[in-house]
Chains A and B, each alone.
Chain A
Amino acid sequence: MALTGAVRVTDAVETPAPARGSKKGDGRAASAFLLPGAIGFVAFTAFPIVASLVMSFFDWPVLGDPTFIGFGNFVELFTTDPVFTTALLNTAVFVLLYVPVNIVVSMGLAVWISPRIVGRRYYRVLFFVPAVTPMVGNAVVFGLLYTPRGLIDSVFQTLFGVSAPNFLGSSTWALPAVVLMSVWQGFGYNLLVFSAALDAVPPSLTEAAAIDGAGPVRQFFSVVLPLMSPSLFFATVLTLISSFQVFVQPYILTGGGPGNSTTTLVMYLYQSGFQNFRLGFASAIAWVLFVIIMGLTAIQFLGQKKWVHYDQ
């Protein structure tokens, strides 16, 4: 429906074909080109963002009338709601474990898959596969690995004669298990980003450093890494943002348990909004998440001046 509308609007543009030289600019053409996208953008992006902020100040049930309660939802979140505190903490731990491990693994493999490796393209793409298969599928597969008597447990019994921990049933192990699964699933993106950046480093520079007596380690940290710092910065920012939104992995693997040991912010948002139907409360959680993400992204952008080198 929106699609045919889009085509019809732009067909209309062809007839006037405004002259480029006119001082007035291309206002009419612009509105025709922008309209189809802008209607959807306002309806499905801009309006819901504003509505979400408004809703966060209401007690908003699915049925019945909303009541304005000021900062009530936020006060509840930060003072009387133990689950939210746990979810916030779990999310922080997840991010602190996931982001560095993801970056180090993807960077390490990107370097490892050097030009001397035969068939490097295939290695890269195979490491990338779980990044594009449905997360639900990836999580279900790891469920079979982690479960008691599953693959990991059975390997433990065979090799060491003892059972592996009950990864998903233990509040100590569950979150690290979710992190491990997430790293396995997600680092392929950054691997491809870093590989592209590495390939763009001119070999003459590392060769020059080698002639000056720099070993491989020194070459990497003093020459290669500064050159690819924009990619590293960009990847870190995006990885951090997405890791704060972790939901599917704990939802499928643990359901947030045992207890609330793997409940994340987005999972709590989902439970509050769509299982307990507290829509205002859920919106408040969403805005806390948004503010955290915005703040950390801003800090990273301020900090980049110290270590990111832009060439041109």
Chain B
Amino acid sequence: MTSEALGTRSAALSADDGTGTPGTPGPGGPAGGLVPQNRKKRPPVVSQLLLTLALLLFLAPLAWMVLSSLKSAGEIFTTPPKLFGESLLFSNYSDALDFLPFGRFMLNTAFVAVTGTVITLVTSALSAYAFARLRFRGRDSLFLVYLGTLMVPQEVVVVPMFLIMNQLGWINTFQALILPWAFTAFGTFLLRQFFLTIPKELEESARIDGAGHWRILTQIIVPIAAPAFAVLAVFTFITYWNSFLWPLIVTNDVTTTTVPLGLNLFLGQNGQAWNLLMAAATISMAPTALLVLLLQRYLVKGIALSGLGGR
């Protein structure tokens, strides 16, 4: 029941809400028959056509990447440009994988991203619950400290963090890639804001039944806040997956190399082999691109929900 109520709230923010409205003449009432109203009903064929052209132009770089990844080295640069080479060289992909172990890189990155996301979700949920629901001395000032660090760019902490990793002997380890970014204030902030919108009455009866905070959090709050958790999970995962500056600093060994770092390595060692480079780029970009296409509904809602943006 409660999760349904929440569902409708986020549906009001969702993208396809507008499509439902044309049938309802509603608010126009007596004045509804005016000229601008009628003009609006015409399907915007030209507009849609131009928009599609703009989208195709926008996607052209990605299409060119895939097309180039299937050409032979000699067919990369032609005037006029050609979409296809003599034949489709799918072997470029296995050649790229032979040159550098992208399968291993992908496994590394998946491990780092999944572990990091799980830690972030768990610690953020616990902290957010404390900030949103518990009363303790210094709560608001402590939260302000958390908030204050949100504005600090990653670059500020990168230098001392490198020294810490060096001191711990964590260079070229997975924990060096995971832990430094699993405790940022952002997750706590996002979840706390969401927890605050959940009516306290929902917990009252559970509390009367003797439920402790742990049960209230796991059995009442977490299920209701599932959309917020999903958003946080997806964006944390993507941030880990795409991270470049930090892995560049703490990793120089194949055993812990991540996908973006691997692509950079490929560029440095074999950058002139454009067809193989494009195959490697396609391999690197496919996972997160597919993730977004699969989860598009959630993401659009989530961005509306959290105001995540600006990157």
Contacts and interface: CB of A to CB of B under 8 A. Distances in A.
A95 interface: no
B244 A37 contact: no
Interface in B82-122: 115, 118-119, 122
Nearest to A231: B307
B310 A141 contact: no
What secondary structure prevails in chain B residues at the interface with A? helix
Contacts of B261: 136
A116 B51 CA distance: 12
Nearest to B204: A20
Contacts of A84: none
Given A192-B300, A241-B153, A289-B153, A30 B160 contact: no
Contact of B161 (A10, A29, A44, A131): A44
A161 B164 CA distance: 57
Nearest to A211: B31
B215 A184 contact: no
Contact of A145 (B64, B80, B238, B285): B64
Contacts of B77: 149-150, 154
B199 interface: no
Nearest to B215: A14
A121 B15 contact: yes
B123 A36 contact: yes
A293 B153 contact: yes
B156 A287 contact: yes
Contacts of B65: 141, 144
Contacts of B229: none
Interface residues of B, number: 122
Contacts of A190: 309-310
Contacts of A289: 153, 155-156
A112 B47 contact: yes
Interface in B232-272: 238, 241-242, 244-245, 248-249, 259-261, 263-264, 267
Interface in A241-283: 241-242, 244-245, 247-248, 252, 266, 269-270, 273-274, 279, 282-283
Interface residues of A, number: 123
Given A44-B180, A141-B278, A241-B153, A129 B62 contact: yes
B169 interface: no
Interface string A113-133: 111111011111111111111
Given A132-B288, A134-B260, A270-B245, A116 B43 contact: yes
A206 to B, nearest CB: 10
Contacts of A138: 61, 285
A11 B44 CA distance: 59
Interface stretch (A45-53, A165-173, A303-311): A45-53
Q: Classify the interface of chain A: helix, strand, loop or mixed.
A: helix
Given A2-B179, A3-B119, A248-B244, A45 B263 contact: no
A33 B129 contact: yes
A37 B61 contact: no
Interface in A29-71: 29-31, 33-34, 36-41, 43-49, 51-52, 55, 62
Given A52-B156, A115-B18, A235 B309 contact: yes
Contacts of B55: 123, 126-127
A123 B16 CA distance: 12
B136 A189 contact: no
B80 A158 contact: yes
A248 B18 CA distance: 38
Nearest to A12: B214
A125 B260 contact: no
B137 A27 contact: yes
Given A127-B55, A286-B155, A30 B136 contact: yes
Can you list the 7 inter-chain pairs with the closest CB atoms, starting with the nearest? A238-B310, A40-B183, A17-B212, A196-B304, A115-B18, A51-B160, A48-B157
Given A33-B129, A44-B181, 13 more contacts: A26-B135, A27-B136, A33-B126, A126-B55, A129-B59, A135-B242, A144-B76, A154-B79, A211-B36, A239-B310, A239-B311, A289-B156, A290-B156
Interface of B: 12-19, 21-22, 27-28, 31, 34, 36-37, 40, 43-44, 47-48, 51, 54-55, 58-59, 61-62, 64-65, 68, 76-81, 115, 118-119, 122-124, 126-127, 129-130, 134-137, 139, 142, 145-146, 149, 151-164, 166, 175, 179-185, 188, 207, 210-215, 238, 241-242, 244-245, 248-249, 259-261, 263-264, 267, 274, 277-278, 281, 284-285, 288-289, 291-293, 296-297, 299-300, 303-304, 307-311
